[in-house]
């Protein structure tokens, strides 16, 4: 199922949980400023150190002192340390250098994400993978207007990316390629500090990573709302996603087979609107089951979207 999601481009449905990094060998990595290194010396545990490459490209490693590290591979630096340590140890030794934090190739992720901050990578990832490293987006994230802020000389350039459209259409190549030092800003649809209230969003419950109430606009669809909710869990039944829409004093329930849509590449928008509820049942309860029965009971008891969201624990029992 996970491969199916990735093929469909629904990063949050498989995704903002999985960091995709390059496959090149770590020993080919070229060290740079701010990288954090672990130094281990064979038969000399007392000489193990964690060091950070300074802005001038050097490290300080007792008993040797200061020496240049930037521009070398971990193996080259290990050989350099081994040669100089031989003078102090009066014997040949081997030094292993590993990179514990690849901070010379880092990206800042800020805004409506779970864990904003600076993230280092051995290989600069794609935009979606960078967002996944920050824990994914939170309720109210505006995936249609993600900004990549890049320093170019003394100036800064802002590149806007429609991540929502990329996820919906499965065309990741349309997103900008990140570079070291970029800042990724995920804006919020809500005003700063304002959470969606009753009747102001779409409720997402059932087998998703982050059940909750999510703000929508006129172009929001099932794909983007599920993405904002962290994606479908391993038990989620994509073949029977239910969208509950208010109709007068009652509700209408539409069942959508997202699995077939992904399989055949027919990703119709499936637009949702304020007041709707998306329910993802469990494959373990396929064919009826306790989850959907509990949800129907709860649905009959209330028409308040906020209250529906609070029923997620009932649905998961």
- Domain containing residue 45: CATH number: 3.30.1950.10
Same-domain pairing of 211 and 241: yes
Tell me the pLDDT tens digit for each residue of 299-314. 543 333 433 333 333 3
Same-domain pairing of 153 and 94: no
**Is residue 9 scored above 90 in pLDDT?**
no
**Is residue 165 scored above 70 in pLDDT?**
yes
Mean pLDDT, all residues of the chain: 77
Same-domain pairing of 180 and 219: no
Structure tokens at 233: 């869990």
pLDDT at 260: 85
Same-domain pairing of 162 and 226: no
Same-domain pairing of 12 and 138: yes
Same-domain pairing of 6 and 132: yes
- Domain containing residue 227: CATH number: 3.10.560.10
Q: Does residue 51 lie in a domain region?
A: yes
Q: Does residue 193 lie in a domain region?
A: no
What span, in angstroms and rounded, lies between the C-alpha atoms of 286 and 264? Answer: 22
Residue with tokens 């624990």: 313
Domain span at 139: 2-20+104-186
Q: Does residue 197 lie in a domain region?
A: no
Q: Strands 106-111 and 183-186, how do they pair?
A: parallel
User: Running DSSP on this structure, what letter comes out for residue 191?
Assistant: P
Q: How many domains does the chain have?
A: 3
Tell me the pLDDT tens digit for each residue of 13-48. 333 333 333 334 556 899 999 999 999 999 999 999
- The model carries a pTM of 0.56
């Amino acid at each position: 199922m996970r491969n199916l999601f990735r093929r469909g481009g629904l990063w949050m449905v498989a995704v903002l949980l999985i960091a995709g990094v390059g496959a090149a060998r770590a020993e080919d990595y070229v060290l740079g400023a701010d990288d954090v290194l672990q130094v281990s010396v064979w038969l000399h545990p007392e000489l193990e150190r964690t060091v950070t490459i300074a802005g001038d490209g050097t490290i300080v490693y007792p008993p040797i002192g200061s020496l240049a590290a930037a521009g070398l591979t971990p193996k080259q630096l290990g050989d350099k340390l081994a040669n100089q340590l031989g003078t102090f140890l009066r014997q040949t030794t081997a030094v292993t250098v590993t990179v514990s934090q690849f901070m010379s190739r880092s990206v800042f992720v800020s805004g409506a994400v779970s864990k904003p901050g600076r993230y280092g990578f051995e290989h600069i990832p794609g935009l979606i993978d960078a967002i996944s490293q920050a824990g994914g987006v939170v309720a109210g994230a505006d995936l249609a207007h993600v900004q990549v802020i890049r320093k170019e000389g003394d100036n800064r350039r802002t590149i806007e990316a429609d991540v929502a459209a990329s996820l919906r259409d499965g065309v990741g190549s349309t997103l900008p390629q990140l570079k070291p030092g970029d800042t990724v800003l995920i804006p919020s649809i809500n005003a700063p500090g304002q959470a969606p209230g009753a009747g102001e969003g779409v409720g997402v419950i059932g087998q998703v990573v982050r059940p909750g109430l999510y703000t929508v606009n006129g172009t929001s669809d099932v794909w983007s709302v599920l993405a904002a909710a962290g994606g479908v869990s391993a038990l989620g039944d994509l073949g029977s996603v239910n969208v509950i829409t208010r109709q007068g004093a009652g509700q209408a329930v539409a069942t959508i087979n997202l699995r077939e849509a992904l399989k055949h590449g027919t990703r119709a928008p499936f637009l949702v609107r304020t007041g709707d509820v998306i329910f993802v049942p469990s494959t373990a309860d396929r064919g009826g089951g306790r989850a959907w029965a509990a949800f129907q009971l709860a649905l009959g008891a209330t028409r308040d979207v906020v209250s529906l969201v609070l029923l997620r624990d009932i649905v998961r029992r």
